[in-house]
Amino acid sequence: MTDSKYNMKYFPVFLNLAGRSCLVVGGGSMALNKTRLLLKAGAVVHVFASEIDPEFYQELTARDGSSADDPEKNLLIIIEARFEPEKISQFDLIVAASGDPELDLQVAQAANRAGRPVNVVDRTDLCTFIMPAIIHRGDVIVGISTSGASPVLARNIRAQIESILPARLEVLGAFARSFRQAVKATFAWDDRKRFWERFFDGPIASDVLAGREAQAREKMVSLINRTDPHPARQGLVHIVGAGPGDPDLLTLRAVQVMRDADVVLYDKLIGPRILDYVRRDAKRIYVGKTRAHHSRTQSEINALLVHHAKAGRRVVRLKGGDPFVFGRGGEELEAVRSQGIEVEVVPGVTAATGCAAAAQIPLTHRDHANAVTFVTGHGLEGEPDLDWEALARRGQTLVIYMGASNAGLIAQKLIAHGLDGETPMAIIENGTLPEQKTVTGPLVALYDLMHDNAIAGPAMLVIGDVAALGAQQAGQFHGSQRRIA
Ligand SMILES: C[S@@+](CC[C@H](N)C(=O)[O-])C[C@H]1O[C@@H](n2cnc3c(N)ncnc32)[C@H](O)[C@@H]1O
């Protein structure tokens, strides 16, 4: 085949180097990196150098030799003036990392003559093998190579992959390994494959990743003992907080479950840049509500969650902010749980903290506020039914969700219950998004500022002395007296 897209420049393999003799030539930081890696793989490493970096020497010899598998036992440092090419055939794998072009060339040539694999740092032309960027989580090892084109690109790719891998992947690998024999003894090859596919896709693996290992072990034992090669695939629901809008504020866990989902039910405040993280072929169902118009009732949404999970699907219920902060996540949780369906809740950055951060307003502050209260500005009948007296106390911060349509009334009530009309206040519309608008002023002007600035998008009201801090930084705060509607 001549078309280069069919030609891999390098063939990826994983070598078992346990107990194998490897040679690292060089005594500097490059040689140290390679030595560390080879020791991790259990190789017996011979380091040859005419002189050795004291840090290198210290790091590798400072290891405590008490444990049986301590890498120190696998390390031999030879400090000699002259490299002896004829000795190279003693080694199974060679790394030239001296940084001296002549010496590295000599090592590569000697290795080639002896038919030994050789890697020369920064000289792919002299390498018979190259080393990938590595992600190492227990039994799981991911190697990333750009065939030597750009190690920095390989590291970038590694960082991206790392960000989507679950933190407890190592535990999941060990868990699967511990059941490997039992599964092998129970199922024939084809069924075994299917069993593992379902395992990694299903609630037991989710339990392991969520740290519920004992529970997962129990379920695994009963699943194996059932010896049913085709167990009905069990669905599960993730109730996920997607944060206030900026996709960079998604949690790693949110991204992981979105990537795995079969079905995603999402709200109005979930933008397309967040939906980009959902698996491409997942079914997307818009269930957004607006104050005036409910496209789906809450019980219809609950029924959809149950329906898809019962059909064996991985369902993600994607909600703005945090699902448990004015998000009706509790009702959905109950609906799903009452049907015996596995459910996991993934928290999100709630709009209060997201908006405050985006407007650089600290919600508590030693000098200004020793408490913060989150309330909804929208009651069941429209008007909020709140403890105005408690909310009007000084020395605290009040953060009001869904308060835009009742802004005038809110200001009026707070002032009527004793809060100074000059108390600083901030309106943050579309917080964390590129179109974010932040308007600040005294509480007494809340109604006018809402209207003058045509606040129409989702908005957060922050009331309290701290509201002046972010604005002061930006030099915007003005304390003009305005009328309350
Ligand atoms: C139904 S509540 C959902 C709150 C969500 N569960 C949370 O934790 O942020 C919707 C209200 O949150 C606020 N909100 C949500 N996202 C916002 C944003 N990006 N900027 C400003 N306010 C936002 C608005 O007050 C909006 O009316």
Phi and psi torsions of 262, nearest 5°: -95, -35
Supply the pLDDT for residue 462.
Answer: 97
Angle made by CA atoms 171, 173, 174, in degrees to the nearest 5: 65
Report whether residue 350 contacts ligand 1, using a CB cutoff of 6 Å.
yes
Whether 321 lines ligand 1, by a CB cut-off of 6 Å, is yes
| Residue in 317, 326, 461 to alter for ligand 1 test, most ligand atoms within 8 A of Cβ | 326
For residue 324, the CA-to-ligand 1 centroid distance in Å is 12
Predicted pLDDT of residue 387 = 94
The sign one gets for the Cα dihedral 202, 206, 212, 217 is positive
* Domains, in order of start, for the chain: 16-131 (3.40.50.720), 169-226 (no CATH), 236-349 (3.40.1010.10), 352-474 (3.30.950.10)
Distance 407 CA to ligand 1 centre (A): 15
Q: Are 233 and 202 in contact (CB under 8 A)?
A: yes
Q: Does residue 346 sit in helix, strand or coil? A: strand
Are β-strands 459-463 and 397-401 bridged in parallel, bridged antiparallel, or unpaired?
antiparallel
Closest atom of ligand 1 relative to the 401 alpha carbon = 25
Active site residues: 267, 289
In ligand 1, the atom with minimum distance to the C-alpha of 349 is 8
| pLDDT given for residue 288 in this prediction | 85
The confidence score (pLDDT) of residue 75 equals 73
Residues (pLDDT < 50) of the chain are 1-2, 64-69, 71, 472, 475, 477-485
So what's the pLDDT on residue 67?
34
Ligand 1 mean position, distance from CA 59 (Å): 51
Per-residue burial over 185-211, b = 16 or more CB atoms within 10 Å of its CB, e = otherwise: ebbeeeebeebbebbebbbbbbbbbbe
Res 119: pLDDT:
97
Strands, E, within 406-449: which ranges?
A: 424-429, 437-442
pTM of the model: 0.69
> Under DSSP, is residue 12 helix (H, G, I), strand (E, B) or coil?
coil
Amino acid at 479: G
Q: Which of 246, 448, 263, 274 is nearest to 354 (CA)?
A: 246
Q: Distance between CA 402 and CA 412 in Å, rounded?
A: 17
Report the distance separating Cα 23 and Cα 100, nearest Å.
16
| Separation of CA 320 and ligand 1 centre (Å) | 7
Judging by beta carbons within 10 Å of its beta carbon (0-12, 13-18, 19+), is residue 273 exposed, middle or buried? middle
Per-residue pLDDT, 294: 57
Given the CA of residue 428, which atom of ligand 1 is nearest to it?
Answer: 21
Q: Quick one: which atom of ligand 1 is closest to the CA of 348?
A: 8
Q: Which residue's CA is the closest to the ligand 1 atom numbered 5?
A: 321
CA 83 to CA 48: how far, in whole Å? 8
Q: What is the pLDDT of residue 454?
A: 94
C-beta of 274 in contact with ligand 1 (< 6 A):
no
